Structure 1
Amino acid sequence: MTQSVLQSIAAADLPERGQPLAGGIFVTRYWLNGQECALILLDDEFEGIWGEYGVKIPGADSYSDGEANARAMAEAGYEIAIKALELGAHIPSCLEGQLLMAAKAEGLVTLREDRYHWLSTQFSADTAYYMDFEDGWLHYYDKDNERLVRPVRSIPIQ
């Protein structure tokens, strides 16, 4: 079941970066599809495969919109996306992953450095992006490998 989360937040109600918000930690403000949003990192963590090697998922190749990517993955039946959406969250896109790394470098959030994390951005029918949060390395690899997922929320700022 999808958790109930904030649908939007007033700019005046945003806490300082690195402080609790909407069941996670407020990472930063950013623009997504013409709307300013608050990026929130959840504490939840799980692992799984991104998808099936050789299968291109239509709509899962946005470099910035992790929620759209995760919805496309979930519609195709991929478990890690379904789990993230059930939390009222999504798998970060490449852009969102880079924003998480910037917040980590500033000491605002803690991210595991001992494992690679899936991002929701598909590179090809065979591969999808992942990130190493030890040094911010972004690359792509076979979708049928297990990696960690650290879900995020993106809430519009009013």
Structure 2
Amino acid sequence: MTKQAQQTVLAAELPERGQPLAGGVFVTRYWLNGIERALILLPDELSGPWGEYGVKIEGADSYSDGEANTRAMAEAGSVIATKALDLGGHIPSCLEGQLVMAAKADGLVELREDHYHHLSTQRSAYLAYYVDFEDGWLGISGKYDECLARPVRSLPIQ
């Protein structure tokens, strides 16, 4: 069952970066599809494969829109994508993962450094992107690889 999550945030109510917001930690403001948004790192940690190796998922190759990628992954049967959506969040896209890494580099959030973290951006039928939060490397791995995922939430700013 999907948790009922906050749907928007008022600009005047945004906390400082690194402070609590909407069930997580406020990472930064950014623009997505012409809308200014607040990116929030959720406390949950998921683990598992990205999806089925050798299967290209239509709609899961956006560099910036992690929610659209995650929905496409879930529709194709990805267990970690479904879990992220059930939490009221999504697996970060490449862009969102890099914004989370910037917040870590600024000392605003803590992230595990001992495992790679899945991103929702697909590279091909066989590969998907990941981020290494130890040093910020963005790379690609087999979709069958067991990695962590730290869901985020992206709220429109009003």
Task: Please indicate, yes or no, whether the TM-score normalized by the shorter chain is above 0.5.
Answer: yes
Offset, 1:59: 0.1
| Identical pairs, percent | 75
Deviation at 1:5, TM superposition (A): 1.1
2: CA distance between counterparts of 1:46 and 1:95?
Answer: 19
> SS of the counterpart of 2:155?
strand
Superposed, 1:1-158 pairs within 5 Å as 1-158=1-158
Q: Report the count of equivalent residues.
A: 158
TM-score by length of 2: 0.99
User: TM-score, normalization: structure 1?
Assistant: 0.99
Q: What is the alpha-carbon distance in structure 2 between the residues aligned to residue 101 and residue 78 of structure 1?
A: 24
SS in 2 for 1:62: coil
- Structure 1 residue 124, shift from structure 2 partner: 0.3
Q: Could you tell me which runs of 5 or more consecutive residues in structure 1 were left unpaired when the two chains were aligned.
A: none
Q: Which amino acid aligns with 2:54?
A: G
Cα offsets for 1:62-111 (capped at 9, x unmatched): 00000000000000011000000000000000000000000000000001
Tell me by how many angstroms 1:6 deviates: 1.1
| Stretch deviating more after TM superposition (1-10 or 29-38) | 1-10
CA distance in 1, matches of 2:5, 2:85: 11
SS of match in other structure, 2:129: strand
